[in-house]
Structure 1
Amino acid sequence: MSEVPPNVTGLAERRAKARAEHDHAASDALRDEIRAEGWLVRDTADGFELIPSPPFEVWPTVSSLPEGGSQEAGRDESSGEPGASTAPGQVSAEDTDTATGRDDSADAGRVAEAAEPGRHPGRLEDLDAKKVAESEAAPQQRPEGSELVGRSDDLDGHPERMVSSQLLWDASLSVSRLDETIVPPADVEEVKAARPTVTVALLVDGRPDELRECVRALVARTEARVLALDLGDVDGAGAVLQELVEEFPRRVEAWHVAESPHWKGGSAGWGESRDRLLRLDTSDVHVVMDTSVILDGDAVTPLVKALDDDVTAAGWKGVNPREDGEEWLEAEPGEVRGLLGHLFAVRRDTALAAGGFPADVRYYRNADLEFSLRLPGTLVALGKDLPVHQDRRRRDDGVDPGYRDEESRRTYDRVLGLLRSP
């Protein structure tokens, strides 16, 4: 890491003093000065940390992110006033293909089924992902010299181009009229209404190689939008996430914050971060997914289809409490009391109405159970038939055992309270 210039260190020390005195205006102004010098300041339990600014927009904290997916204006650390610019490389909801299922371009992931010996069936190779990226990100073609079909800025002296443009224009009108005859507008609206929009939400807190494989499998094997929140660029995972945004600009949207995750000594908790992802989302169905989970096929569509009648959420793995309520046991496929956070889909409006994710949860363990118990309606688990696998145990690697046990118990006490409430 580059050596921090003395003037930047001085700015950070003045900012720490301003924060201690609750002078939020001065703190925000000094943070911006530090950013202008090419550095980011990250608050830690011991004070602060300075890191070089990455080549993408970074928001100061999770709480500074807006709701509803708007990246036009940010909020500062404390006052809620606009203060951050639009993140580069992002796309709006209107530009994103959010329906679940498959299309011809996304189905390029099927070429990865012939994996090398010794690798997991269905594992994506770099070449396969590149093919997906090329088909997914290819720009729309327009006639040369034309912004609108049938027009040109340089037709004088080129009658063949004028004739060609006119033919293209006439052909496009014919196709348009044919489409209007075959598919009435009312039918199109019915089809749209029958296919809910879907977003897969990822919380990024390290393990860049795992993140890359997870996202590429999602792009290759589903049509769902991918929305990711990077906490502190741990081990360069935020940089990899931005590479994925550039590789799949119509499918992946990323938000970056300077806060590092709580389990790494930072201030960004699991519950607050997951809740912000839910509120950044604008889709009908919000899919919670861990980056350790890799799709071997389209595992998203079955989950979305399961959200029928009074089913509020559907997941890969479900659990039920033992009679004494002190332990949770893995459940068979079907109706369950709780869903594990590896992979599950929930109706977004219902999740918001239930209060969203428990914002004061700092570590993931037992937080999925707390969220599940707050949801109304029926929860179902699809089980082993879902085309998905997990290469490692979730997030326990690198976590201090004492911290893990303390935070897990802290959340589980609330879980017991919910379980025993009438």
Structure 2
Amino acid sequence: MTDARPPAQLRPARLEGVAGGTGTGRDTAGGGGRAPGVGTAGTPKPKGAAARPEGEHARMNPAAELGFSGDPGQHGDPGDQMLHAQRVWDGTLATNRLDELGVNSERQRVETKDVTVGVGLLVDGWPGDVRRCLQSVIDHTQARVLALDLGNVDGAGDVLRDLAERYPERITAWHVAEQPHWRGGTATWGEGRAKLLRLDESEVHVLMDTDVALAGDALTPLVAAVVEGAVAAGWQGLEPSDGATEQTSIGIMPQWREGPGGTGPEWRQAGPGKVRALTGGLVAVRRAQAINALPEDACYGAYADLELSLALRGDLVVPDEPPPVEPLGRHEVPSGYLDRESRRNYDGVLRMLSAS
């Protein structure tokens, strides 16, 4: 099992590990344990320096250490609460400045560097979007890509083959002659996604749609949320609103204003933090849990992400900072097919909501 490690094995770095200590710099541990001839930072004492009695240690100018002018006359009172407040203030400002410089992002990269990540893509048309989507993953992440081409619709499979030949160490592609279900074939969303999950050997699997592209490293914050204990993380979250009688499509597919059947709770955008469901075409999930939760009978992806979310056991999270994701536009499918399959998928969502 590739997900055998504890969910939160990699803990976030402590504050002092990120921004440095906010103390005064004085040695408060005593000098008894220091080797003879070694200074306060573990460096040899300068030649000619006067020897101190055992147990006595150096004390720097507390005013200068706390960010004041450093005038030798400004020694201050070591017990002065004003100095303590200034120390906390300066430490907070230093942390904020480092956050602005990307320390949080770097911390997440360090925490997730040993976590294996696989990005699963179903390629079923729209070759221009396929190229942009795949290239963005190559450019902005180190994740492996597992892509399944369904019938080379409109030449999208040729685009996948070209990129896989160009980046053989990053992209693994499979090509099947069967057309996708929405084009009259038998290759469904659920079966395709299930195959990608089982072919992947990564700890974290990313379900990515080809109608989104990464404008930066959008995967690291999602994977970091999973490493910290979430079962899944995505760039968009949803919550059902109690008492609503009209199904809208906020955050899902904006062209479905009336929704399938016009019944059921309204879904509203939610996050950051814990949410009830994840959507948006980019979701990172613990692969071992996703295998049992994925709705393999879903013919089309509409509302299947909600069904997957409700079947997962654990926290679903949207990061505090929006990951850099660029929607590439809507992928149009025949309206009759859309209504029929979205109704089936949404019925599954309603059943799971009523049971929870």
State whether TM-score is above 0.5: yes
The gaps in structure 1 that reach 5 residues or longer are 1-67, 69-190
> Which residue does 2:340 correspond to in 1?
406
Number of residue pairs the alignment of both structures matches = 228
Please state whether the residue corresponding to 1:370 is helix, strand or coil. helix
- Bigger helix share: 1
- Look up the equivalent residue of 1:223 and give its one-letter code: Q
- Deviation of 1:356 after TM superposition, in Å, equals 4.1
2:170 to 227, 251, 255: 251
The gaps in structure 2 that reach 5 residues or longer are 3-109, 244-263
Residues in 2 aligned to 1:303 and 1:209: alpha-carbon distance in whole angstroms = 26
- Deviation of 1:192 after TM superposition, in Å, equals 10
- Deviation of 1:406 after TM superposition, in Å, equals 1.2
- Deviation of 1:278 after TM superposition, in Å, equals 0.6
Q: Which of the two has higher C-alpha Rg?
A: 2
> Which residue does 2:271 correspond to in 1?
332
Residues in 1 aligned to 2:324 and 2:275: alpha-carbon distance in whole angstroms = 20
When residues 238 and 361 of structure 1 are mapped into structure 2, their CA distance, relative to the original with a 3 A threshold, is same
Asked if 1:233 is matched to 2:167, the reply is no
Q: Contact 1:288–1:341 (CA<8 Å) still a contact in 2?
A: no
Provide the aligned C-alpha RMSD in A. Answer: 1.9
Q: Contact 1:272–1:357 (CA<8 Å) still a contact in 2?
A: no
Q: Contact 2:217–2:324 (CA<8 Å) still a contact in 1?
A: yes
Q: Contact 1:278–1:356 (CA<8 Å) still a contact in 2?
A: no
TM-score for the superposition, normalised by structure 2:
0.61
Please state whether the residue corresponding to 1:236 is helix, strand or coil. helix
> Which residue does 1:299 correspond to in 2?
218
> Which residue does 2:120 correspond to in 1?
201
Residues in 2 aligned to 1:296 and 1:192: alpha-carbon distance in whole angstroms = 22
Please state whether the residue corresponding to 1:359 is helix, strand or coil. coil
> Which residue does 2:80 correspond to in 1?
none
Residue-by-residue CA offset, 1:342-373 (whole Å, 9 max, x unaligned): 10100111212xx1421111011110000111
Residues in 2 aligned to 1:214 and 1:391: alpha-carbon distance in whole angstroms = 9
Residues in 1 aligned to 2:273 and 2:111: alpha-carbon distance in whole angstroms = 28
- Deviation of 1:310 after TM superposition, in Å, equals 3.6
1:17-416 → structure 2 map (5 Å cutoff):
195-324=114-243, 326-352=265-291, 355-382=292-319, 385-393=322-330, 395=331, 397=332, 399-416=333-350
TM-score for the superposition, normalised by structure 1:
0.52
- Look up the equivalent residue of 1:283 and give its one-letter code: S
Structure 1 stretches of at least 4 aligned residues deviating more than 6 Å after TM superposition: 191-194
When residues 196 and 384 of structure 1 are mapped into structure 2, their CA distance, relative to the original with a 3 A threshold, is closer
When residues 369 and 400 of structure 1 are mapped into structure 2, their CA distance, relative to the original with a 3 A threshold, is same
Q: Contact 2:112–2:224 (CA<8 Å) still a contact in 1?
A: no
Residues in 1 aligned to 2:282 and 2:111: alpha-carbon distance in whole angstroms = 25
- Deviation of 1:193 after TM superposition, in Å, equals 9.1
Residues in 1 aligned to 2:305 and 2:234: alpha-carbon distance in whole angstroms = 11
Residues in 2 aligned to 1:193 and 1:230: alpha-carbon distance in whole angstroms = 29
- Deviation of 1:227 after TM superposition, in Å, equals 0.6
Please state whether the residue corresponding to 2:179 is helix, strand or coil. coil
- Look up the equivalent residue of 1:377 and give its one-letter code: G
Q: Contact 1:231–1:258 (CA<8 Å) still a contact in 2?
A: yes
